Structure 1
Amino acid sequence: MIKVENLFYSYTKDSKYAVDDVNFEVAKGEAFGFLGPSGAGKSTTQGILTGLLPMQDGLAEVAGYNMKNPSRKMFNKLGVSFEQSNVYGKLTALENLEFYRKLFDVETIEPNVLLEIVGLSHVANKKASTFSKGMKHRLTFARSMLNKPELWFLDEPTTGLDPAIANQIKDVIKEKSKEGSTIFLTTHNMFIADELCDRVGFIIDGVLKLIDSPRNLKLKYGQKLVDIEYKDGNEIKKDSFSLIKEEERLKLNHIINNYEIELMHTKEATLEEIFIKVTGRGLV
């Protein structure tokens, strides 16, 4: 669904690149995470792929269309949910969706259904100008689903949402992914990416450092540890053992066989820890 080769982009039209020789592909039905801190090149890449920014150098194909000359028909296949909500404040939630559905040449989902999905049905007839930042974000998210997109661009989809609503949004994304939608997720939230994405790419200073599945990254860069708490007489002891080293595995087995275990859990590296290890940079 997406093919990018030797993509460059400079806002200053010189050698200071916001996107610097980026290459990747996203297969149909795949959930792909584009991860990095603010200013890394995530939004610039998404802007090029959605037609908001003009092509400069390189190749970008989206849903079978060359982004050097994008066709209007392409936008019938795309859904875009921006981090910065851009709804019409003078229109109600329902009117916003009714307006946007008229822009498509394909079958759309009933606006009331979408408002129910994102938990805004109770304010369907209220003007968007009265909404909180989180409510506007949900309305933008609902709008991105209007045309049943084959390719869904999501920019920080859970930003500014309370945990319950964020979980609801994540469930919607998971369901659409199961139904076969291709998802391009830009975020600096590694926990969201770990939960939702089949593969992730780490980008920093416009350079795409690596691409792999969250599982493979954890196996390659993470430590395999077990944290354990156990009773030794009347004393509670805590320890941590590596599952890689034979000597420590034997110690762990000894404790399990000879002491009363209070707590035990495996410990793996998070995507954020791996990102820092790979790039040498944090996510802020």
Structure 2
Amino acid sequence: MINVKNLFHSYNKDGKFAVKDVSFEVKEGEIFGFLGPSGAGKSTTQNILTGLLQLQQGEVSVVGYDVKTISNKMFNQIGMSFEQSNVYSKMTAKENLDFYRKLFDVETREPEELLELVGLGDKANIRAGEFSKGMKHRLTFARSMINNPRLWFLDEPTTGLDPAIASEIKDIIREENKKGVTIFLTTHNMHIADELCDRVAFIVDGEIKLIDSPRNLKLQYGNKLVEVEYIKEGETIKETLSTIQEEDIKQLQDIIGKYEVQTMHTKEATLEEIFIKVTGRGLE
């Protein structure tokens, strides 16, 4: 669905690159996370993929179309939900979607259906200018689905949403993916990436550091530890032991054999901890 080879981009054309020799591919039907801190090159790459920035150097194809010669046929097949909402304030929610659907040459979804889906069904006839930031974000999210995109670009899709609504948005993403929609998720939120993504790319200072599945990254970079609580001489003892160091393995076997174990579970590193370990950078 997406093929990128040796992508470079400089805003001032002064030899300083916002994106440096970036190469990756996104397979049909997967959720691909593009992860990094602010200023890492996420938005620059995404804007080139969606035609908002002109390709300077490299090869990029999106849903089979070369972005050097973008056509309306490509836009018919992609959807884009921006982090910063850009709805028309003087139009109602329904009017916003009615206007946008006319831009496409393909069958579109009904505005009422989409507004209901994102929890704005009772706000259809209210001007978007009266919406809160979170409501505008949901309207932008709904709008990105109106043309039934094969490839769906999501930029920080849960930003500014309360936990309950964010959970609903994640459920919608999962359901659309089950229908075969390929998703390119741009975020610095490692929790949503861990929950949703089949594979992730870590990008820092315009360069991709690695690409892999969250599971593989945890197995490769995560600490192989087990936390065990047990009763010893009437006291509850809690220990964290390695599952690969012989001394700790023997100690764990002794605990299981001699004492009453109350709880025992493995401990894995978070995606955020792995990102910091791999890149040496935080996410802010």
Query: What's the TM-score, normalizing by structure 1?
Result: 0.98
1:247 is displaced (CA, Å) by 2.7
| Aligned equivalent of 1:280 | 280
Q: Deviations over 1:231-263 (max 9, x none)?
A: 213211110011112332232232223322233
Q: Give the AA of the match of 1:233.
A: E
1:176 is displaced (CA, Å) by 1.0
For residues 254 and 187 of structure 2, the distance between their equivalents in structure 1, rounded to whole angstroms, comes to: 43
| Aligned equivalent of 2:145 | 145
Q: Deviations over 1:143-185 (max 9, x none)?
A: 0100110000000000110000000000111111111111000
| Aligned equivalent of 2:59 | 59
Does residue 20 of structure 2 align to residue 20 of structure 1?
yes
Q: How does 1:245-264 map to 2 (within 5 A)?
A: 245-264=245-264
For residues 258 and 88 of structure 1, the distance between their equivalents in structure 2, rounded to whole angstroms, comes to: 69
> What is the SS of the residue equivalent to 2:68?
coil
| Aligned equivalent of 1:97 | 97
Q: How does 1:180-199 map to 2 (within 5 A)?
A: 180-199=180-199
Q: How does 1:37-186 map to 2 (within 5 A)?
A: 37-186=37-186
For residues 257 and 158 of structure 2, the distance between their equivalents in structure 1, rounded to whole angstroms, comes to: 45
Structure 2 runs not aligned, ≥5 long: none
Q: Give the AA of the match of 2:272.
A: E
Q: How does 1:231-242 map to 2 (within 5 A)?
A: 231-242=231-242
> What is the SS of the residue equivalent to 2:257?
helix
Greater CA drift, 264-273 or 250-259: 250-259
For residues 258 and 117 of structure 1, the distance between their equivalents in structure 2, rounded to whole angstroms, comes to: 55
Q: Deviations over 1:49-107 (max 9, x none)?
A: 00000110111100111111111111000000000000111111111111111111111
Structure 1 runs not aligned, ≥5 long: none
> What is the SS of the residue equivalent to 1:68?
helix
RMSD of aligned Cα (Å): 1.0
> What is the SS of the residue equivalent to 1:160?
coil
For residues 134 and 7 of structure 1, the distance between their equivalents in structure 2, rounded to whole angstroms, comes to: 34
Q: Give the AA of the match of 2:63.
A: A
Greater CA drift, 228-237 or 274-283: 228-237
> What is the SS of the residue equivalent to 2:251?
helix
For residues 46 and 226 of structure 2, the distance between their equivalents in structure 1, rounded to whole angstroms, comes to: 39
Does residue 226 of structure 2 align to residue 226 of structure 1?
yes
For residues 233 and 255 of structure 1, the distance between their equivalents in structure 2, rounded to whole angstroms, comes to: 13
Greater CA drift, 257-266 or 31-40: 257-266
Q: Give the AA of the match of 1:18.
A: A
* Structure 1 segments (4+ residues) deviating >6 Å: none
Aligned residues between the structures: 284
| Aligned equivalent of 2:10 | 10
> What is the SS of the residue equivalent to 1:152?
strand
Q: Give the AA of the match of 1:88.
A: Y
Greater CA drift, 125-134 or 230-239: 230-239
Query: What's the TM-score, normalizing by structure 2?
Result: 0.98
> What is the SS of the residue equivalent to 2:34?
strand
For residues 131 and 260 of structure 1, the distance between their equivalents in structure 2, rounded to whole angstroms, comes to: 57
For residues 67 and 90 of structure 1, the distance between their equivalents in structure 2, rounded to whole angstroms, comes to: 33
Identity %: 70
For residues 62 and 14 of structure 1, the distance between their equivalents in structure 2, rounded to whole angstroms, comes to: 28
Q: Give the AA of the match of 1:111.
A: P
